[in-house]
């Protein structure tokens, strides 16, 4: 592994010089560094015990934060995503007539399984495998040579619109939507903390995804615009532009570095960790998961089912996975294989508890694996860490 501190510092200064200054993320930085040390010790002890794998800290791949990538690296990533959008779908038209591209294959897989991959035992593990499989598709089908980047919410929490994520430059993941008048966004099922309308709401007209067509969904739209209507079936064809309403109101309340630090340090049990992460909606708390989605907002980003239709989804869920990885690494002996929950969303309807032997399925995108296979980023189909 190489630590490129001078380069990261130069990139931070360059970013600040353009009018955006990333917020400090000292809390999670310390936790991540401590966790990485723990991971090194754990892997060393496992090797001494004869529990070796092909993945080691010497050959592990490194996922990095979007703001630390060079402009060339960012363009290589967004070009690969656009490449997936140009390739034909594998999903059968009978299953989803709206799935036109390889990118849509991933969106439909998420739509089709939404009620069994949120508020469930497999929420974290399923999405870890989902992001990994998307990363592999970028590599295998579009020649991408990097790793899946992540979006450290804490760095952009106080000014997301002007950040390197959403500033609309060729090196972002697209800008905010153009302004369209709309009412507040009712993001939570409890109806609490309706999000004030931001400066967007309309089509994204800047950045690499300005000409993108969203083909599927929405299923449960939240953007309060008359033309944004729920589809009658999960796989219906509904071509439209990508819309966003990037929200500093959300990010500054629910996605600061302090929010992430508290999530990791104050929830030592997996039940509470994943519950608080996803949001305690009865209290009006979005959690970093829902908060990240509604920092993006819009259509399809503000739809629980169709959210992968916005390319920012993959950076957001890279950070979700990183946050879980940091949490696991604080106490690997007790947390690496810790799971909790049932197999239906928020146990509705009531269902059995999930197990490590339950199957994670990604449809046409990958082979089935078990939850157990997805618990370690150094085991199963994976071999990556975060810096």
Instruction: Write the CATH number for 189.
Output: 1.10.1280.10
In degrees, to the nearest 5, what angle opens at C-alpha 84 toward C-alphas 81 and 85? 90
- Answer whether residue 192 shows pLDDT above 50: yes
What's the CA gap between 363 and 81, in Å, rounded? 19
pLDDT of residue 6: 37
The CA distances from residue 207 to 163, 285, 338, 345, in Å, are: 13, 31, 40, 35
Instruction: pLDDT band for 18, please (50, 70, 90 cuts).
Output: low
The contacts of residue 20 (CB under 8 Å, 6+ apart) are: 159, 162, 163, 164, 167
Domain of residue 111, residue span? 61-386
Instruction: pLDDT band for 50, please (50, 70, 90 cuts).
Output: very high
In a domain? residue 293: yes
27 token code pair:
């809390």
In a domain? residue 36: no
In a domain? residue 30: no
In a domain? residue 1: no
In a domain? residue 85: yes
In a domain? residue 275: yes
Domain count of the chain? 1
In a domain? residue 51: no
What's the CA gap between 121 and 359, in Å, rounded? 11
Mean pLDDT over 157-161 rounds to 98
Mean pLDDT over 171-191 rounds to 97
**Residue 375 C-beta-side C-alpha neighbours within 13 Å:** 21
pTM metric for this prediction: 0.95
Q: Decide: 319 and 291 in contact? Cβ < 8 Å.
A: no
Residue owning tokens 């106490």: 331
pLDDT of residue 7: 42
Instruction: pLDDT band for 290, please (50, 70, 90 cuts).
Output: very high
Strand partners, 63: 386
- Answer whether residue 224 shows pLDDT above 90: yes
In a domain? residue 259: yes
- Answer whether residue 111 shows pLDDT above 50: yes
* Radius of gyration, alpha carbons of the chain: 20
What's the CA gap between 289 and 304, in Å, rounded? 11
pLDDT in tens, 357-372: 999 999 999 999 999 9
What's the CA gap between 306 and 218, in Å, rounded? 6
- State CA 374 to chain mean position distance: 16
């Amino acid at each position: 592994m190489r630590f490129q501190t001078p380069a990261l510092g130069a990139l931070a200064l360059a970013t600040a010089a353009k009018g955006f200054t990333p917020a400090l993320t000292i809390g999670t930085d310390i936790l991540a560094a401590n966790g990485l040390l723990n991971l090194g010790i754990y892997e060393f002890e496992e090797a001494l015990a004869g529990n070796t794998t092909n993945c080691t800290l010497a050959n592990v791949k490194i996922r990095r934060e979007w703001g630390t990538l060079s402009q060339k690296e960012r363009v290589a990533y967004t070009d690969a995503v656009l490449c997936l959008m140009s390739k034909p779908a594998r999903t059968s038209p009978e299953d989803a007539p709206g799935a036109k591209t390889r990118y849509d294959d991933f969106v439909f897989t998420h739509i089709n399984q939404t009620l069994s991959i949120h508020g469930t035992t497999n929420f974290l593990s399923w999405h870890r495998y989902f992001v990994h499989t998307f990363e592999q598709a970028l590599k295998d089908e579009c020649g991408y040579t990097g790793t899946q980047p992540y979006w450290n919410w804490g760095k952009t929490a106080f000014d997301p619109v002007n950040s390197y994520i959403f500033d609309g430059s060729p090196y972002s993941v697209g800008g905010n939507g153009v302004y369209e008048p709309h009412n507040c966004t009712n993001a939570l099922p409890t109806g609490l903390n309706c999000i004030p309308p931001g400066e967007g709401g309309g089509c994204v007209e800047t950045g690499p995804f300005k000409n993108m067509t969203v083909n599927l969904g929405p299923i449960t739209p939240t953007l309060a615009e008359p033309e944004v209507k729920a589809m009658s079936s999960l796989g219906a064809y509904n071509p439209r532009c990508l819309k966003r309403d990037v929200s500093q109101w959300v990010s500054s309340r629910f996605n600061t570095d302090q929010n992430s630090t508290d999530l990791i340090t104050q929830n030592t049990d997996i039940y509470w960790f994943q519950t608080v992460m996803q949001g305690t909606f009865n209290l009006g708390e979005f959690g970093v998961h829902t908060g990240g989605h509604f920092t993006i907002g819009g259509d399809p980003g503000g739809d629980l089912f169709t959210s992968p239709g916005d390319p920012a989804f993959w950076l957001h869920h890279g950070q979700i996975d990183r946050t879980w990885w940091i949490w696991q690494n604080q106490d690997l002996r007790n947390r690496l294989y810790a799971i909790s929950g049932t197999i239906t969303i928020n146990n509705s309807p009531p269902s059995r508890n999930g197990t490590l032997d339950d199957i994670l399925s990604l449809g046409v995108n990958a082979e089935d694996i078990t939850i157990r296979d997805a618990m370690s980023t150094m085991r199963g189909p994976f071999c990556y860490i975060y810096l």
